[in-house]
Amino acid sequence: MPQPQPESIEFDHPCPIRDVLDRIGDQWSVLILLTLQPGTKRFNALMREIGDISKQMLSRTLKHLEQDGFITRTVYPEVPPRVEYRLTELGHSFLEPMQALVTWADAHHRTIAEARRRYRGGE
Amino acid sequence: MPQPQPESIEFDHPCPIRDVLDRIGDQWSVLILLTLQPGTKRFNALMREIGDISKQMLSRTLKHLEQDGFITRTVYPEVPPRVEYRLTELGHSFLEPMQALVTWADAHHRTIAEARRRYRGGE
DNA sequence: CCGCTTGGGTCTATTTAGTAGACCAGGTCT
DNA sequence: AGACCTGGTCTACTAAATAGACCCAAGCGG
């Protein structure tokens, strides 16, 4: 029994932003939540839509998101198995302020791209 | 000459959110920006305030943030050297929608902590 | 004059996190 | 019987992050 992943689940920091960012601020969480925004999706559908995530990371991140109450996981006892992921109220409420950020990104990505080019050029 | 870090700087995805998230969605960027919000800070001051970041990651992340136009880096040619980092207009404008998220985190971190406990308990 | 201190990093070795891809269950279709 | 389906897990490999030694050049104490 290798028991490889202790999956440390601690609220170490006194600062809540740190905690939430630690979870949400990884490479995939926000992307998964955004992908689930339109509605319920299955595991492989998420894989396809996101594209460049590994199964393990998708699985792990979904587990974290479920654990933190952002999504629910429903297993239908069929063969082949069917598992559906869907946003909870908390998940939806999170995406509200997140939308503001997405809008910002949309509005400013040109500026950023330009800054990046300038930096490269003027190096 | 090892030349170890190609520092790939590409705008691969057609989707701007992906791009912006890839950069500011790492462990440290947002934290650094938030730390710089009150005003100009020096390298070691950032180290101390953030606490658990390594020099290398701080250096690298600051470079990325400068590159993308979120902050400016000013070197005063003194000895010992003094280097100051400060938010640009873009940096400040980013923190506006970000603030909404911080507020959300503040409001919901209890709910999340509770969900996490429930998950652990009911496992 | 020697050696210590100071700030802002870089370099290297080690630990950790993420990826790719093989594998599994078990019922259906051919 | 054998191939195929989904939603994962396991293992071996690779990429990324960390810790900590090291560097530079001026100033300062003795």
Mean pLDDT, chain A, whole residue set? 87
**Edge-to-edge strands, sheet with B82-87:** B41-42, B82-87, B71-76
Sign of the Cα pseudo-torsion (B68, B74, B77, B79, in order): negative
Consecutive H or E run containing B83: strand B82-87
Mean pLDDT, chain B, whole residue set? 87
Residue B2 pLDDT > 90: no
Lowest mean pLDDT among A95-99, A107-111, B14-18: B14-18
| Residue A112 to residue B30, Cβ atoms within 8 A | no
Residue A62: its pLDDT value, please?
Answer: 98
| Residue A9 to residue B116, Cβ atoms within 8 A | yes
- Locate the DSSP E strands across A1-123: 41-42, 71-76, 82-87
- For A24, nearest residue in chain B (alpha carbons): B25
Res. B122 pLDDT band, cuts 50 70 90: low
Q: For A37-47, how does the pLDDT look when each residue is reduced to its tens digit (9 = 90+)?
A: 999 999 999 99
Residue B5 pLDDT > 70: no
Touching check for B83 and chain A: CB below 8 Å? no
Domains of chain B plus CATH, in order, are 16-121 (1.10.10.10)
Touching check for B11 and chain A: CB below 8 Å? yes
Give the nucleotide with minimal C1' distance to the Cα of A1: D10
